[in-house]
A and B are shown apart, each in its own frame.
Chain A
Amino acid sequence: MKALESFMQKIKPKSDGKFPLAYTVWDGTYTFLFVPGHTNHNGVHIKDGIDLKRTMSMVVLALIPALLFGMYNVGHQHFLAIGEITSADNVCSMFWDKFFYGAKLVLPIVIVSYAVGLGVEFIFATINKHAIHEGFLVTGMLIPLIVPVGVPLWMVAIATIFAVVIGKEVFGGTGMNVVNVALVARAFLFFAYPTKMSGDQVWISLGEGKAIDGFSGATPLSNVIEGGVEAIPSLMDSIIGFIPGSIGETSVIAIGLGALILIATGVGSLRIMLSMIAGGFLTGLMFNAVGGNPYFELPAVYHLVLGGFMFGAVFMATDPVTASQTNTGKIIYGLLIGVMAILIRVANPAYPEGVMLAILLGNVVAPLIDTIVVNSNINRRLKRIKTA
């Protein structure tokens, strides 16, 4: 390690030299390899071991189960669609074929997302003369997991650039953004290329193969419109995740593993997760009671396990920068997103994926929620003067 350290120190470029970008890249790499030994000289002399890199890498770690399952499911759906297996077969048959088929499609999306996003980050860090901030470590992993497998790579690249520049850097970079960066990328794709991002073409990769008769590649949520409640997959399949959908969103179990990591390490907010789930479930129940079109009748528990609801609750709504920051605010914020997600799904079938829009809306009102919470604290203090 000493050799690596001295090598890195030897090739260190000057920060004010001819190539400022070279310094930013060097600094980014060096601080990735070594936590710098800066010490404190005023204030506290000892500091908690945690830093933003560790926090962010915990989230990336929590996303790994969803990523791996996503790869497997891409393969599974492929072989199902071309008829090499049937839904009656053991899901583990052709295990490695499925996994490698999926990996071959998913990894390029991950690589493009990271390469493009980090490229933009490096350029902005150089222009603004600050170190690389870690925010994109998570965003770069989130973007591949919330897009359909059929998305063209150039679209991923454009969406990533748009998200990092417009979603984050214009506000001042990591920690300053108003809405979740990965969701900006998703929303950009959704509204800029609606034909590519919905329907029954993008969710399942057919590859060279030909779809079997009677195959529908749409997500369960869109199927509900046409086929009614009977068209949805079994609850078990939806929980395990063998359904079409965005790469990382289908398996409640894989997402649950990630949630456990986030909760155990204290990185993710349990308050937001639970309140969003509660909000979604109660709204689902309410619509069940009203009845009407198939969406109204979709059992509440299905609302939670289908589509991006769980993924949104665990990984998207809990983004500390864009969520509410006060503890009371977090509960209100989660409830609001849960309610809005189901409301958009049910009341507006043009957007079966209400979760994305609900979280974006939640991000926008989060500061308002916090203001109300903080103002009640201010009023309590003012009241104290009057009674004193």
Chain B
Amino acid sequence: MSKEIKIRKGVDIKLKGVAEKIYANPVNVSEIVLKPENFPTLIPKLLVKVGDKVKAGSPLFCDKENDKILFTSPISGEVVEINRAEKRRIVDVKVKSDGQSSYESFKQADTSSLTREEIIENLLKSGVWPFIRQRPYDVIANPAVKPKAIFISTFDSAPLAPDYSFVVHGQTEIFQAGLNALAKLTDGKVHLNNSGNDNVDAAFSGAKNVQINRFYGPHPAGNVGIQAHHIDPVNKGEVVWVLRALDVLTIGKLFKEGKFDASRTVAFVGSKVKSPKYIKTVLGAKITDIVSGNVEDGGRFISGNPLSGSQISANGHLGFYDYQLSVIPEGGNDQFFGWIAPGFDKFSLSRTFCSWLTPNKEYDLNTNCNGEERAFVVTGEYEKVFPMDIYPVYLVKAMITEDIDRMEQLGVYEVAPEDFALCEYACTSKISTQKIVREALNLVKKECS
């Protein structure tokens, strides 16, 4: 029953600084930070105070609306800072490592002997639950709901993204354990969506207990929301859960080893990185430990990929969901007659730059907007890079006008901000599409629940 799907719309933006497939020397993690802003719509409730000693897996805060959803410390150490912004909103919770690795212990069992409720309880208690996200709304899954299916993407097609097959290599058993746990959470299918490329690791291509699908084509073929749309789209009233393959490893480790092992492999990439490699570190790690002199000046640090990641400072921390640390040149210079220059160094989807003559070139793009914001003028741009049976501009306009009925009609339940990243990239009018989508999803969630 596996499906083969070709994605035709989209584009691979080839950037300089792809990670070489080797691991850099292991680094010490001096401190970590957990940021509630990584979880859209979450209102956190603190469970610790400054000075508390925590182990890996000890709760730091929980979801105010559902206090069973815990966010636990990835390392053992001491809570050293809790930063707040206006209205006492929690910005982040910082834990300083004690240099040891002591873990809270959770249930360690073969998932076939556990019930659905026991699995969910174990995931919630350990703080692994937030890795499971849902459509609609692209938020942390609601444990009280039974999803109609679970989708797992085993590849990331975004620019400079880590190769999941490389990272998962040698962890077949752990990955399978994670899949087995997930399979018990739904009455429907667990879809494992592989890349159509040949070099897919055996952990993915030989996975059991799931339906394996193959996706061909350019970015955003690796976005799990795009994949769900082509296999079993979300209708009004339905819920699907989505994960990325590397999240499944954390679930697998929980049931195999009985602990919240937040260690992860991060691709350290971008044209400003002297030698881009893979680095083993921990969720939320401080990036100075990773960077340690390996970057050139004038770079912007992005936790995640350059299309949908978030900007962090040079001594910031990785985001909860990010397996990539990108450093690309910071822009900010006015460009003399930039709008008429031939532009061999500018990558564009429009063929108005000479760069379309060199399709295989790797680009070193900076963070300039290359223009000012305007009203929608050019049509057909979003459609070229949005591989869903949805009219993206009409949906975005409904979002801007906060017309929930119209959004519902046009397919708001199927989309996530990351699916619009290429639209935002290509937009001639420089409209911040992902922000609009995120705010609209928050609005619909608030109004409809």
Secondary structure at chain A's binding surface: helix, strand, loop or mixed? loop
Could you tell me if B350 and A38 are in contact, using CB atoms closer than 8 angstroms? no
Whether B274 sits at the interface, judged by CB under 8 Å, is: no
Residues of chain A lying within 8 A (CB to CB) of residue B308:
43-44
Shortest Cβ distance from residue B423 to the other chain A in the assembled complex, whole angstroms = 9
Q: Which of B328, B331, B378, B421 has a CB less than 8 Å from the CB of A55?
A: B378
Give the CA-CA distance A34 to B372 in the complex, in Å. Answer: 11
Could you tell me if B429 and A45 are in contact, using CB atoms closer than 8 angstroms? no
Residues of chain B lying within 8 A (CB to CB) of residue A384:
233, 235
Could you tell me if B13 and A46 are in contact, using CB atoms closer than 8 angstroms? yes
Compute the total of residue contacts between A and B using a CB distance below 8 Å: 205
Whether B2 sits at the interface, judged by CB under 8 Å, is: no
Could you tell me if A265 and B350 are in contact, using CB atoms closer than 8 angstroms? yes
Could you tell me if B339 and A57 are in contact, using CB atoms closer than 8 angstroms? yes
Which B364-407 residues have a C-beta within 8 angstroms of A?
A: 365-372, 374-380, 383, 389-391, 393-394
Whether A214 sits at the interface, judged by CB under 8 Å, is: no
Give the CA-CA distance A21 to B15 in the complex, in Å. Answer: 42
Residues of chain A lying within 8 A (CB to CB) of residue B348:
48-50
Residues of chain B lying within 8 A (CB to CB) of residue A321:
377
Whether A1 sits at the interface, judged by CB under 8 Å, is: yes
With an 8 Å Cβ cutoff, the count of chain B residues facing the other chain is: 75
Could you tell me if B334 and A45 are in contact, using CB atoms closer than 8 angstroms? no
Q: Which of A39, A265, A374 has a CB less than 8 Å from the CB of B351?
A: A265
Could you tell me if B370 and A378 are in contact, using CB atoms closer than 8 angstroms? no
Shortest Cβ distance from residue B337 to the other chain A in the assembled complex, whole angstroms = 7
Shortest Cβ distance from residue A179 to the other chain B in the assembled complex, whole angstroms = 15
Could you tell me if A378 and B427 are in contact, using CB atoms closer than 8 angstroms? no
Closest to A386 in B: B235
Could you tell me if A55 and B428 are in contact, using CB atoms closer than 8 angstroms? yes
Cβ contacts A25-64/B at 8 Å (1 or 0 each):
0000001011111111111111111111111011000000
Which A270-323 residues have a C-beta within 8 angstroms of B?
A: 320-321, 323
Could you tell me if B430 and A37 are in contact, using CB atoms closer than 8 angstroms? no
Shortest Cβ distance from residue A5 to the other chain B in the assembled complex, whole angstroms = 6
Could you tell me if A44 and B335 are in contact, using CB atoms closer than 8 angstroms? no
Could you tell me if B369 and A38 are in contact, using CB atoms closer than 8 angstroms? yes
Could you tell me if B376 and A175 are in contact, using CB atoms closer than 8 angstroms? yes
Contact A48/B351 with A36-B372, A55-B377, A131-B372 known, Cβ cut-off 8 Å = no
Could you tell me if B338 and A44 are in contact, using CB atoms closer than 8 angstroms? no
Most chain B Cβ neighbours within 10 Å, of A34, A37, A378: A37
Residues of chain A lying within 8 A (CB to CB) of residue B430:
47, 51
Could you tell me if A39 and B310 are in contact, using CB atoms closer than 8 angstroms? no
Give the CA-CA distance A351 to B430 in the complex, in Å. Answer: 42
Residues of chain B lying within 8 A (CB to CB) of residue A131:
372
Residues of chain A lying within 8 A (CB to CB) of residue B307:
44-46
Which B223-265 residues have a C-beta within 8 angstroms of A?
A: 233, 235-238
Closest to A4 in B: B336
Cβ contacts B345-359/A at 8 Å (1 or 0 each):
011111111010000
Contact A39/B235 with A53-B371, A173-B375, A327-B383 known, Cβ cut-off 8 Å = no
4 tightest CB-CB pairs across the interface, nearest first?
Answer: A51-B371, A175-B375, A49-B346, A35-B338
Residues on A lying within 8 angstroms of B by beta carbon are 1, 4-5, 31, 33-55, 57-58, 131, 133-135, 172-176, 264-267, 269, 320-321, 323, 325-327, 330, 374, 377-378, 380-382, 384-385, 388
